[in-house]
Amino acid sequence: MTEIRLYNTATRSKQLFKPLDPNNVRMYVCGPTVYDRAHLGNARPVIVFDTLYRLLRHVHGPDHVTYVRNFTDVDDKINATAMARRQAGAPGSLEQLVRERSDETIRWYREDMDRLGALRPTHEPRATEYIDQMVALIADLIAKGHAYEAEGHVLFRVRSYAGYGRLSGRSVDDMIAGARVEVAPFKEDPMDFVLWKPSGDDLPGWGSPWGRGRPGWHIECSAMSQELLGTSFDIHGGGNDLQFPHHENEIAQSMCAHPDAGFAQVWMHNEMLQVEGKKMSKSLGNFFTVHDLLAQGVPGEVIRFVFLGTHYRKPMDWTAEKAQGARRTLKKWYAEIALADGRGEVDAGVVASLANDLNTPEAISKLHDLSARQDWHGLRASLRLLGLIGRNVPDWAGDSPVDANTTALIEALLVERAEARRNKDFARADQLRDGFVTAGVIIMDGAEGSTWDLTPEFDKSTLEALK
């Protein structure tokens, strides 16, 4: 069996991956807060951990991997949208409007991530459906002395967990020294964080032993992973911005509730995304969503390919130039594998690269090898493993859907050019050749005649001017 090596943030080293139960490899990834469309940065962990999911399924068998990715649908921005809608006269209770907002955002998220070739996780739990488990977990933490109630809040007693700060390499004292956060007066210690907080009448809330309220952010992942994967499981993933405080707090909660279970064995964090060399932010004007990009005609496969071109633990720069290159490469490969039947074997080199801490850039270089060796079956199967092709070659890469008019016009102009060349009227022949280029038509002359294709920049009026 293929040996998988993964970099474990918790030990800061790459180590051999040994599942607790090879018949049920379990992975939890922190999913989105569903307050709006997913931006491009949200796509990175999705693609990274989807690739890992595919690798695990390949190695252990599709039925022996359980992948959980949550939706966080308890959030002030969701509430704000719901309240704004109610003010605008939308019917229904606040709870219903909150639910509607999450529902539509989740639907968008799934549509967008599907387009990126990401498989749906085994479970996609919503935080609001696990409130009972969270309440039980919080009560357990209080009973064990790791949490306390104060002014309607329940807080986690950070000093009660000696391992706090291990994952992110911080000491509690250092963090307090450098803290820039205002400390709530009811906290025993500045580092203590909220497990449960009270909700006023104008906010969604649930009944609890501590009054009507809502959970803090971190407790949901502890509760849902425990419910769906057990008190210990194999891999926990997310963006490296979650390393602290989110994952640190998750560890504290889960380890204190189940001191002997071990919680997650391997912690994996993807680096952040940049756009044209800069952090993506609304103020810089380089902020866009996955949906924006798809709507502009950038195919999901192209986005995925660009992402896989950088190792997940390095910052990744999204550029228009990369997207263009990715489109060309994929289109070439799609044309090459058109005749492959899809029953080929996945290339061992591709698997080996992935098994080495998801070295996707190296895996892509192996795809280039397969293409150069004309191993179309292997290329197709390997593209499939990487999620760069589904059952069929995507429509955008096939023969461009061209209306009959345009086809006839191009064919006629090609005939004219062939005649001009035969008659040594090179002025006209070159005029047509250059005109095709300007119009966005690629002409490929071969021994048995000319073939053509349209670039995304194809412009029909420019072509018609050639007549």
Is 368 a residue that touches RNA (CB under 7 A)?
A: yes
Taking CB under 7 A as the binding criterion, the range among 63-71, 130-138, 359-367, 390-398 that sits at the site for RNA is: 359-367
Q: Does 163 bind RNA (CB under 7 A)?
A: no
Is the distance from CB of 268 to CB of 45 less than 8 angstroms?
A: no
316 contacts RNA (rule: CB under 7 A): yes
Q: Which is nearer to RNA, 105 or 226 (CB)?
A: 105
The reply to whether 131 sits near RNA by the rule CB under 7 A is no
45 in contact with RNA (CB under 7 A): yes
Quick check: 317 binds RNA (CB under 7 A)? Answer: yes
Alpha helices in 296-347 (DSSP H): 300-308, 320-336
Give least dist CB 352 to RNA, A: 11
Is 341:361 a contact under the CB 8 Å cutoff? no
Provide the minimum distance between the beta carbon of 446 and RNA in the complex, in angstroms, as a whole number.
Answer: 7
Shortest distance (Å) from residue 111 CB to RNA: 17
Residue 119 or 335 with smaller CB distance to RNA: 335
Q: Which long-range contacts (CB under 8 A, 24 or more apart) does 139-146 make?
A: 139/209, 140/257, 141/195, 141/253, 141/256, 141/257, 144/256, 144/257, 146/252, 146/256, 146/257
Q: Which CB sits closer to RNA, 49 or 263?
A: 49
Place of tokens 């950070």: 158
Query: What residue type is 403 in one-letter code?
Result: D
Please state the closest distance from residue 387 (CB atom) to RNA, in A: 18
DSSP per-residue letters across 58-118:
HHH-GGGEEEEE-BB---HHHHHHHHHHHHTT--S-HHHHHHHHHHHHHHHHHHHHHHTTP
Q: CA-based Rg of the chain, rounded to a whole angstrom?
A: 27
Q: Tell which positions 370-389 bind RNA, by CB under 7 A.
A: 372
Among 284, 415, 442, 465, binds RNA (CB under 7 A): 442
Q: Which range in 73-81, 251-259, 260-268, 291-299 contacts RNA by CB under 7 A?
A: 73-81
Least distance from C-beta 179 to RNA, angstroms? 6
Q: Which residues are CB-neighbours of 138 under 8 A, at least 6 positions away? A: 147, 154, 195, 196, 208, 215, 219
Q: Is residue 361 a contact residue for RNA (CB under 7 A)?
A: yes
Which residues, 231 to 290, sit near RNA by CB under 7 A? 238-246, 270-273, 279-280
Interface residues for RNA in 291-310 (CB under 7 A)? 309-310
Rounded Cα distance, 300 and 327, in Å: 10
Pick the stretch among 95-103, 117-125, 317-325, 344-352 that binds RNA (CB under 7 A). 317-325
3-state secondary structure of 40: helix
| Residue carrying structure tokens 């390499």 | 169
Cβ–Cβ under 8 Å, residues 220 and 31 = no
Nearer CB in complex with RNA: 405/423: 423
Q: Phi, psi (5° rounding) for residue 156?
A: -85, 135
Tell whether residue 149 is a contact of RNA (CB under 7 A): no
In 3D space, the residue among 55, 256, 208, 27 whose CA is nearest the CA of residue 122 turns out to be 27
Cα–Cα nearest to 204, from 25, 75, 389, 294: 75
Q: How far is the CB of 62 from RNA (least distance, A)?
A: 26
Site for RNA in 405-424 (CB under 7 A): 421
- Does 75 bind RNA (CB under 7 A)? Our answer is yes
Q: Which is nearer to RNA, 261 or 415 (CB)?
A: 415
Least separation in angstroms between CB 344 and RNA: 20
Q: Is 197 in the site for RNA (CB under 7 A)?
A: yes
